[in-house]
Chain A
Amino acid sequence: MTTASKESQYMALLQQLETSLKRGRYVRSHELATRTLRLAEKYVQSDSWKNAEEVMQWLENTADRLTKAAVSESAPSNVLKRLIKTVQEDFMTRKNKGKLHTISRLDSDAKVDYSEELPDLRSDILGAILDLSSELENGAESIAEDAEKHINANEVIMTIGRSRTVEAFLKRAAKVNKLEVIIVKCGPFYQGKDLAKILSKSKIKTTVVNDTAAFSLMSRVDKIVIGTHTVLANGGLKAIAGCHQILLTSKYFNVPVLVLAASYKLSPEYPFSAEMKITNRFVSPEELIDYKNGQMIDNVQVYAPVFDYVPPELVSLFIFNMGSHAPSYIHRLLHDTYTQG
């Protein structure tokens, strides 16, 4: 393939991704992460860059661009930012090969010159991308491997809405132990229903209830297992609306909460207010307005934000594909995953 065609290839990919972000044409953040990674791969394969500095610059610019396209979606920029860190590390190991010189991380002001051209860098980065993409692909499975450790026999598990990671996790747990699942439907989309159907098809005792029932049922629940949209830098969550309330209830009844998240959901973003005005997404409330006479709702304003912010104290444990951690440990993971700054 010629260089030019490769270049146009990644440009086209980028544009596609940007458009679907802008128009909200995507199903789940996993898809976004995979597409972003494919884009990065195409770029790295192309000849549009000479040195690490340029790659990092491109990654950063693209991350910014994609973030601007849809502020509420952090998966693309998470993937790209993670690659920046990888490029840095690859560069340093290549450059310092044979040298016994380690840059102290305490020395945050130290400037490294990344403009040196290293011929092997390309293959290193491509290797890293390959690793990442297999991690993305097997994320849910490797999280599910932990299921037996956390779910004991005859436990009643509550979950909120629909998450494919949770689905795999519960199926795995049900293979070993008998368990019961209570699914909160989670309005306004009620995706919980779909999960309930899938789980009961695979012979798991499943109950599906409305959001309002969580308080009444919580006293019978042993554990809550949920997925999330994003894990924020303080160990909090950006999760589907309704989670905050239900997890408050679980706190009230002292029910432990497990949050399953693939590594690309870990974001260096900090939440600053409970409403998350800035990075929330609002959908059309047409699904909510079901009043029989339209006149009545003349003066009614309806809000339908998609996400809730869940503070870290409501989460007992995170299960990532790279292991399980307490919320207070998230900052360490972040530090290992992303560059500081």
Chain B
Amino acid sequence: MGRKKHHKSNVPQSQPKPLPSSVPSASVNVDPGGPSIDPPPQPSLPPPPQNPVPPVQLKPVKMPGALEDPILVAETPVLAAVRALLRVIETYNGSTVNGLISELKSAANANNVVKQGTPVLTKSKLAVDSACAQFIRYATLTLSSIEAEDVSKCREQMMCEGLKYLKRCERSIEKISRWAVTLIFDGARILVHGDSFVVLETLRCVPKNIYFSVFIVLDNDKVATFFEDNYNIDVRVVRDAEVGTLMESMDLVLVGAEAVSKNGGIINRVGTLPLAICSREMHKPMYVLAESFKFSVLYPLNQEDVPEEIREDEITKRIRVDYTPPKYITFLVTDRGLLTPTAVCDELIELYT
């Protein structure tokens, strides 16, 4: 039946050892999002009276301790923002549900206002945006089933839903990597663009007995050494210009995303589009790994249509991201399962309408 597996012997495997669980000093790095997000309107945090609401603890965020590269922890601003919103619900002492919702909305906006200015945050701005929007949507989803005009009850409900959402966000990478490892078969040659944390985490989770090699498109060698030190994965760093040559011998392409547009396209680090076009031309599958909180309502028609503040780097004014239309994408691997680009729109419709 199946054929014999090759490469039985030379198995430089992903080690079973888990991610170096958050080094305390590293989490300092995360915090630019954390404290500064605190929504302005709320002065202090009175202890929540409701029972089902555990205190929101700023859970230490998983991140590779060895590498103090802010890019690798780009997901954390999202979690921080969601926590901030939770805190808004927790501390709300107005009397109407509508008031709470508008409060949340302004807090979500504030999240972004605060964020602009530093490069890390520009990168995750879209994700924070969409995560906040989704949070509000989820939190208010079940309110209609509560008949009473009881604010505290509503708040309780929202808190409960919001916490679920936060948990989902936290677990999303784990879920994605569980799906994504099935894409990687023995002997696979994988081309990776950028240093998306989800992608790297996925590669780490591939079972021991599967041998694969990774080619990572990046400008610096930092990640490669990081990988060899921590993950024991065979990584080669390649330049953007090498993509055309390499594509022929690749089996699949893995990329992350800064945001997923409404039509299933992605906005990602510049260079993704040429990579995608190249993979399509050579009939190689391209998989996008993206958490569902990155699903945004953005719908760029072309490159021009991507908002300029996202497209360009704040400081250098160079193009930072490009938009990859859905036709180049084989699958999106999300925490909601493997989705075709068309399915993204379905999910979004379900979410926002």
Given contacts A101-B145, A106-B350, whether A340 and B337 have CB atoms under 8 Å apart is yes
Residue of B2, B141, B167, B331 near A234 (CB, 8 A) is B331
Given contacts A328-B342, A331-B339, whether A109 and B350 have CB atoms under 8 Å apart is no
Contact at A328–B340, with CB atoms within 8 Å? Answer: yes
Residues in B whose Cβ lies below 8 Å from that of A2: none
- Bitwise, A268-303 to B at CB < 8 A (1) or not (0) is 001011000110011000000000000000000000
Residues in B whose Cβ lies below 8 Å from that of A270: 182, 338
* Chain A CB within 8 A of B183 CB: yes
Bound state CA distance, A330 and B342, in angstroms? 10
Within 8 A of A (CB), among B202-216: none
Nearest-neighbor residue (CB-CB) of A71 within chain B: B1
* Chain A CB within 8 A of B142 CB: yes
Nearest-neighbor residue (CB-CB) of A303 within chain B: B3
* Chain B CB within 8 A of A227 CB: no
Residues in B whose Cβ lies below 8 Å from that of A71: 1
Interface residues on B, range: 20 to 34
* Chain B CB within 8 A of A329 CB: yes
Residues in A whose Cβ lies below 8 Å from that of B164: 107, 109
* Chain A CB within 8 A of B168 CB: yes
Within 8 A of B (CB), among A303-325: 312
Given contacts A109-B167, A235-B340, A332-B346, whether A277 and B2 have CB atoms under 8 Å apart is yes
* Chain A CB within 8 A of B299 CB: no
**Best-surrounded residue of B142, B337, B346 (most CB of chain A within 10 A):** B337
- Bitwise, B130-170 to A at CB < 8 A (1) or not (0) is 00000000100110010000000000000000001001100
Bound state CA distance, A341 and B164, in angstroms? 18
* Chain B CB within 8 A of A149 CB: no
- Bitwise, A227-257 to B at CB < 8 A (1) or not (0) is 0000001110000000000000000000000
The secondary-structure label for the interface of chain B is: helix
Contact at A234–B342, with CB atoms within 8 Å? Answer: no
Bound state CA distance, A255 and B343, in angstroms? 26
Contact at B340–A272, with CB atoms within 8 Å? Answer: no
Residues in A whose Cβ lies below 8 Å from that of B183: 272
- Bitwise, B72-98 to A at CB < 8 A (1) or not (0) is 000000000000000000000000000
- Bitwise, B162-195 to A at CB < 8 A (1) or not (0) is 0010011000000000000011010000000000
Given pairs A71-B1, A340-B337, 18 additional interface contacts (CB within 8 A): A101-B145, A104-B141, A106-B138, A106-B350, A107-B164, A109-B164, A233-B338, A270-B182, A272-B182, A272-B183, A272-B185, A277-B3, A277-B185, A282-B1, A331-B340, A331-B342, A332-B343, A332-B346
* Selected A-B contacts with CB under 8 Å, 9 pairs: A233-B338, A234-B331, A272-B185, A273-B251, A277-B185, A281-B1, A329-B342, A331-B339, A332-B346
Residues in chain B within 8 A of chain A (CB atoms): 1-3, 138, 141-142, 145, 164, 167-168, 182-183, 185, 251, 330-331, 336-343, 346, 350-351
Residues in chain A within 8 A of chain B (CB atoms): 71, 100-101, 104-109, 233-235, 270, 272-273, 277-278, 281-282, 312, 328-332, 340
